[in-house]
Chains A and B, each alone.
Chain A
Amino acid sequence: MRLRAPVTVLAAAALLTTGLSGCGGSDSGQGAGERPTKVVLLTHDSFALPKKLTQQFEKESGYQLVVRSNGDAGLLTNKLVLSADNPDGDVAFGVDNTFASRALDAGVFDSYTPHDLPAGVSAYDLPGDDGSHLTPVDQGNVCVNIDTTWFAEHHLTPPASLDDLTKPAYKNLFVTPGATTSSPGLAFLLATISKYGDGWQSYWKKLVANGAKVVDGWDQAYEVDFTQGGGKGKRPIVLSYDSSPAYTVSGGKTTTKALLDTCFRQVEYAGVLQGADNPDGAKELVDFLLSPAVQKALPTSMYVYPVAKGTALPKQWATFAVQPTKTWDVAPDDITKNREEWLQQWSDVISG
C-alpha cells in the first residue's frame, strides 16, 4: 500500500488547485475606481426574460448582465438575509409580499425609487415600505380553479366561494398544495386566514373533513390530481393561479375557471442590495424591469401579470385569464410575525 502512486496525488492536487484557482479568480475583474463592467441579479428559478430584452439592456447600459437564480421566493429571501453583510450580487428580484418584510427587517435592501415610475405601479407597493426600498415588478393571484367541463358533465353547480369548498356536494373534489412546502399553498392558507380570522383552523378542519387532499407541490396538485392536468386526475377543484385558465384552452374555449372570490394577491419586488458593488447598474436594472418591453414580456416569460397600467396582455390572457377585483390579503408584518405559529397550527390540523 505504501507504494501506491504519489503521482496520482500530485496530479489530482494539481488538477484541482489549478482548476479552482482559475475559476475562483474570474470574479475579481472589478478594481476600485474603475467603472464596473457587470451587474449581478439575484433571483428565483422562475425568472426568465427573452434574450433579446436582456441583450438590449446590456447594450444600452454597457453592463454585462449576470443572472444567479436558485430556489423559490422563500429560498431567495433567506439567501439574501444570510448573506446580508456580503451580498452575492447588486440587485434582487423575486422577493414577494409574503417574505418581503423578513428581508427588509434584515436590512438587505438599499433605498431606491425609480424616477419616472409608470402609472399604476405604486398601487402595488408593499404596505409599510411604500416603494422606498422595494419596487413592484409583477403581480398575480393564487385562486381556487375549477374544471368547468367536469361540472357541466356531472350537472353539478360549481362552487364559487371558500365556504362552498366545505359543502358535502363537493366532498373529495378539492386538491391543494400544502402551506409548508409550496408558495401558492402558503398564499391559500393566508387567504383563509384573511377571510376567517381566528376561525381559520375550524375552516381547515371542515375542509379536511370534506375530503380536501393536501399534496406537497403545485405540480402534484395540478398535474397529477386535477382533472385538467397532464396526468388527468380525479379532482375537478384545484388551487392554482388566476392566469391558469389561459393554459387550458382548446378549440377556442378554456376548460377551467378561476374562482375570483377565493384569491390571495402575490406581488414580486425588485430592489437594490445594500453593499452592492455596482449600485448604479442595480438601479438601471430595476428601471429596466419596469420598462414597457419587459412588462409586456412578463406573462409569457414568467406567468405573471405586469404592474404598469396599460400594458397589453397576450391574446390568450386577455381572453381567458380574468383577475379578481377583491382579494383576501394579510399585512406583510402580520405574516412575518405569525408565520411560524400559523404553519405549525396548520400542520397539526392537516395531520390530525
Chain B
Amino acid sequence: MERRHLGLIALAALPVLVLGVFFVLPVTGMVRRGFVVDGSWDAGTVVRVLGRSEIHRAIWFTVWTSLTATAASVLLGLPAAYVLHRLAFPLRRLVRAALLVPFVLPTVVVGVAFRELLGEAGPLAGFHLDGTPVAILAGLVFFNVAVVIRSVGAAWEGLDARPAEAAAALGARPWTVFRTVTLPALRPSIVSAASVVFLFCATAFGVVLTLGGLRYNSVETEIYKLTTVLLDLPGAAALSILQLLVVVALLTLAGRLRAVPDPTQHRAVVRPRRPRRADLPQIVATLVLLALVAAPIATLLAGSLRVDGRWSLGNYRALQTPGSQQTLVAPATDALVTSLEIAVVATALALVLGLLVAAVVTGRSRSRPERRTRAVLDGLFMLPLGVSAVTLGFGLFITLDRPPLDFRDSPWLVPVAQALVALPLVVRTLVPVLAGIDDRQRQAAASLGAGALRTVLTVDVPVVWKPLLAAAGFAFAASLGEFGATSFLYRSDHPTLPVVIYRLIGHPGAMNYGMALAGSCVLALATAVVMLLVERLRVPSLGAF
C-alpha cells in the first residue's frame, strides 16, 4: 500500500472509530431490535408501517416544512451574513455573538416564548398564527438562521473583493456582480449551510409539537411517539430507515451542488468597510431578521424579570437555590457549571474530530475510488444530524451495555454524543475553507525548505484559524443547547442547564416558571459571552490578522 493511503487511513481512523461506536452501532442496534422478530428478519413491518396514511402525511409535512424553512433561512441569512461580516459598524461583534443565542435555547422555553407572543393572550394574537404551520416555520428559522449567517459569513470574509470590483469597474450593476461573481464563489458554503439547516429542520421535534399544537406530525415526532409511548419498535425502525435514506439522498445531492471552489482563486481576509447607501437593502433585511430573532428572546427576558407582577431579580437570585419546593436536586447554578464543562469537552472533541475529517475529505484524490471514499466519509459524518435523538439515545442505552463497550453510565457519553451533534457543523465549516487552499502553496513552502509543521503553520493555519474559531463557537453553542440526546444520557447528579430548565418549567409553582425563564436567559447570556470572547480572540503568533 502506498504511504499516502496509510496516511489517509491514519487520519480517518479515530473519527471513524468514534462514529462507529457511538453512532453506527447504537442506531443499527435499535433498527435490528425493530426488524428481528424471534430471531428472524421481518421485512413485512416496513411495508405495514410505510403504507399507513398518517405516515405519508408525516413524510410530506417533514419534506415541505424543512425545504421551506431552509429556503427562508438562506434568504434571510444571506443579507445578514454580508452586513455582519463585510461591513464595519459599532457593536458588530456583539450582534454576531447574539445571533447564535437561539441556537442554545431549549426548545421547550422557546416554545413558551413563541406562544406568549403568538398565542391568544400575546401581542401578535391578531395574526392567528398559534398552532399553524407558519408558526412552526418561524420557529425553525429562528433556531437555524445563525447557521447560514455564520458559515456563509466566514466564507464571505475570506472572499477576494477584487473580481467583484473588476466586474463593477467593467460596468456590471451590483445585482449582476452578486449573481455572476459573488454568489458562485459563495455557493459551496451556502450549500453546506443549507444542508445542515435542512437536517436540523427535518429532525426538529419540540418546535413541531409545541408550535403546531399537535395537529401536525413529522417523521421525527412519529418516531418519538412510536418509541417512547407505544414502544412500537418495528414502526420506529421503519421510519428511522426512511429518515436515513432521505438524508443520504439529500446529502448526495448537496455534495454534487457543493462543487469545490477554484483553489487557484486567491483568498484574503478583506477588511470590513463602512456601510454605503447601496448597502441599505441588506441592512434593512438584517434589521428585520434581528427583530424576528430578538422578539422571542425579549419575551423571555421580560418574563424572567417579573415576580408577582412586579419587576424583580428574584428569579435570578433563586437560581442559586434548588427551586421552590426543592424541585431541583442542586442549585441551577451548578447545572450551568456542568453545562459549560461538558460543552468545553464536547467542543474540543468535535474540533479534533472535525479537523481530521475535513483534512481527509479535502485531501487531493488521485483515483476515482479514492475520491469516492472521501466523499462517502464526508457524508457519513453528517448523518448524526439526520437521525432521531430518540433512536440514538435508546440505541446507546441498549448496545453499549456490556464490556468492552460498557458506556451506559460513563460520564463521557454526554460529551461524546454532543460532539457528534456538533461535528457536522465543524466539518461543514472547515471543508469549504480547506478545499479552497491551493495545494501548490504547500508544495511551494515545502520546496523552499519548510518542514511539515511549518508548512501547516504558514499555509493552512492562517486560512483556517478564523473558520476554526467560527466552528468552535458553533460546536460550543450546539453542545450547550443540546437537549435531545442529553435528556436520555445525562447523569442525575450532574444535570445540564437545559435539563434543569425543562424540569423547572414542567412543575407547578410560580417561582419554577420564573426560574426556568431566568435560567434560559443565563444560558443565552453565557453563550453570547463565550461567542464574544471567541470573536475577540487573537492568536498572537498570527499577527498578520
Which residues of A are interface residues toward B (Cβ below 8 A)? Answer: 1-6, 8-9, 12-13, 16, 19-20, 23-24, 27, 45-48, 50-51, 67-71, 74-75, 77-79, 81-83, 86, 88, 102, 178, 180-181, 186, 213-220, 222-225, 229-235, 240-241, 243-244, 247-248, 300-301, 303, 339-340, 343-344, 347, 350-351
Question: How many Å lie between the Cα of A244 and that of B509 in the bound state?
Answer: 9
Check if A231 sits within 8 Å of B364, measured CB to CB. Answer: no
Pull 6 A–B residue pairs with CB atoms less than 8 Å apart, ordered by A.
A5-B456, A217-B108, A220-B115, A231-B116, A241-B508, A300-B326
Please tell me if B409 contacts chain A, counting CB pairs below 8 Å. yes
**With A2-B363, A180-B229, A343-B230 in contact, do A13 and B120 touch (Cβ < 8 Å)?**
no
Note all chain B residues with C-beta closer than 8 A to A50: 326
**Beyond known contacts A16-B14, A224-B119: 9 more, CB 8 A cutoff:** A74-B228, A78-B228, A88-B397, A216-B210, A230-B513, A233-B121, A248-B510, A300-B325, A347-B54
Residues from chain A with a CB closer than 8 A to the CB of B3 are 2
B469 within 8 A of A: no
Tell me whether B213 and A215 are in contact (CB under 8 A). Answer: yes
- Nearest neighbor of A81 in chain B, beta-carbon distance: B231
Q: How distant is the Cα of A103 from the Cα of B4 in the complex, in angstroms?
A: 54
* Nearest CB of chain B from residue A326's CB, rounded to whole Å: 24
Which of B328, B455, B509 is the most central at the interface, judged by chain A CB atoms within 10 Å of its CB?
Answer: B509
With A71-B487, A232-B121 in contact, is A9–B11 under 8 Å at CB? yes
Chain A: minimal CB distance from B508 (Å): 4
Q: Does A224 contact B115, Cβ atoms closer than 8 Å? A: yes
Smallest CB-CB separation from B394: which chain A residue? A82
Q: Are A340 and B230 in contact (CB under 8 A)?
A: yes
C-alpha spacing A13/B18, complex, angstroms: 10
**Which of A69, A71, A216, A241 has most B Cβ within 10 Å?**
A216
The interface residues of chain A lying within 8 Å CB-to-CB of B353 are 12
* Contact stretch, chosen from B62-70, B354-362, B472-480, B529-537: B354-362
CB within 8 A of B507: which of A12, A46, A88? A46
* Docked complex Cα distance between A192 and B25 (Å): 43
Q: Chain B residues near A344 (CB, 8 Å)? A: 54
B326-A48 in contact (CB<8A):
yes
A293: min CB distance to chain B, Å: 15
Pairwise interchain contact A102-B120, C-beta atoms closer than 8 A: no
For B235, the closest partner residue in chain A by CB is: A340
Contact status A6-B402, CB under 8 Å: no
| Complex: A46 Cα to B7 Cα, angstroms | 50
Answer whether residue B258 sits at the interface, using C-beta atoms and an 8 A cutoff: no
Nearest residue, chain A, Cβ from B325 = A300
B210–A215 touching, CB < 8 Å:
yes
Assembled-state Cα–Cα distance A75/B402 (Å): 21
A23 touching B492 by the CB < 8 A rule? no
B138 within 8 A of A: no
Report B441 CB to chain A, min CB distance, Å. 12
- Greatest chain B CB density within 10 A among A51, A79, A213, A220 is at A220
Do B209 and A216 touch across chains, with their CB atoms under 8 A apart?
yes
Most chain A CB neighbours (cut-off 10 Å) among B4, B217, B329, B487 = B329
B203-217 contacts to A, CB under 8 A, are: 206, 209-210, 213-217
- Given contacts A16-B18, A240-B508, A300-B326, are A24 and B439 in contact (CB under 8 A)? no
**Pairwise interchain contact B231-A343, C-beta atoms closer than 8 A:** no
The binding surface of chain B is classed by DSSP as: helix
Q: Measured between C-beta atoms, what is the minimum distance from B112 to chain A in Å? A: 6
With A67-B493, A70-B488: A3-B115 Cβ-Cβ less than 8 Å: no
Q: Are A23 and B412 in contact (CB under 8 A)?
A: yes
Least CB distance from A344 to B in Å reads 8
B399 shortest CB reach to chain A, Å:
10
A229 to B505, CA, bound (A): 11
Does the CB pair A216–B213 fall under 8 Å?
A: yes
Chain B residues with CB below 8 A from A8, complex form: 352, 355-356
Partner of A83, one of B112, B230, B401: B401
| A6, A217, A229: residue with the most chain B Cβ atoms closer than 10 Å | A217
Does residue B490 face the partner (Cβ distance < 8 Å to A)?
yes
Instruction: Decide if B492 touches A68 in the complex (CB within 8 Å).
Output: yes
Q: How far is the CA of A181 from the CA of B228 in the complex (A)?
A: 9
CA distance A301 to B10 in the complex (A): 52
Sorted nearest first, the 6 A-B pairs with minimum C-beta distance are A230-B513, A3-B452, A216-B209, A247-B508, A234-B120, A1-B363
Does A223 lie within 8 Å of B513, measured CB to CB? yes
Residues facing A in B397-453 (CB within 8 A) are 397-398, 401-403, 406-412, 439, 442, 446, 452-453
- Residues A224 and B112 in contact in the complex (CB < 8 Å), given A20-B407, A216-B213: yes
Q: How far is the CB of A207 from chain B (nearest CB, A)?
A: 14
Once A82-B397, A83-B401, A217-B108 are accepted as A-B contacts, the answer to whether A23 and B229 lie under 8 Å apart by CB is no
Query: Would you call B371 an interface residue if the criterion is a C-beta within 8 Å of the partner chain's C-beta atoms?
Result: no
B503 contacts the other chain (CB 8 A): yes
Per-residue 0/1 for B277-299: is the Cβ within 8 Å of any A Cβ (1 yes, 0 no)? 00000000000000000000000
With a cutoff of 8 Å between Cβ atoms, the chain B residues found around residue A247 in the complex are 508-510
Partner of A1, one of B229, B439, B503, B514: B439
A278 to chain B, nearest CB (A): 15
**When the two chains form their complex, are residues B442 and A3 in contact, meaning their CB atoms are under 8 A apart?**
yes
Expressed in whole angstroms, the minimum distance between the Cβ of A3 and any Cβ of chain B is 4
Any chain A CB within 8 A of the CB of B267?
Answer: no
Q: Please give the distance in Å from B436's CB to the nearest CB on chain A.
A: 13
In the complex, the answer to whether B227 meets A78 with C-beta atoms within 8 Å is yes
A70 and B490 within 8 A (CB): yes
Contact A229 B513 (CB under 8 A): yes
Q: Which residue on chain B has the smallest CB distance to residue A231?
A: B116
